[in-house]
């Protein structure tokens, strides 16, 4: 049961930001310097209001989540070496 709960938590923590990233960011070889705002994201920002704020606040959410997971992995490894 714990294994299933961990799997669901990982899917939620990584999956939701990935969905927002795919909706609002376009990444690829043709984009110079990384990612840019997608057509859908640009449209929502131009409209303004709540949807523009959602786009702005979630554009870098995927990068932040991946960074936090990486830091947590590094800290857990360091904690194991210190306590073990």
pLDDT in tens, 36-75: 788 888 888 888 888 888 888 887 777 788 788 888 878 8
* Entry pTM: 0.58
Are the C-beta atoms of residues 44 and 52 closer than 8 Å to each other? yes
| Mean pLDDT in residue range 7-20 | 80
Model confidence at 84, in pLDDT bands (50, 70, 90)?
low
- The reported pLDDT for the residue numbered 33 is 63
* % of the chain residues with pLDDT over 90: 0
């Amino acid at each position: 049961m714990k294994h299933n709960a961990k799997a669901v938590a990982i899917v939620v923590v990584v999956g939701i930001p990935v969905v927002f990233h795919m909706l609002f960011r376009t990444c690829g070889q043709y984009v110079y310097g990384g990612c840019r705002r997608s057509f859908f994201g640009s449209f929502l920002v131009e409209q303004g209001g709540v949807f523009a704020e959602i786009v702005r606040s979630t554009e870098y959410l995927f990068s932040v989540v991946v960074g936090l997971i990486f830091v947590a992995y590094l800290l857990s490894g360091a904690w194991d070496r210190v306590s073990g």
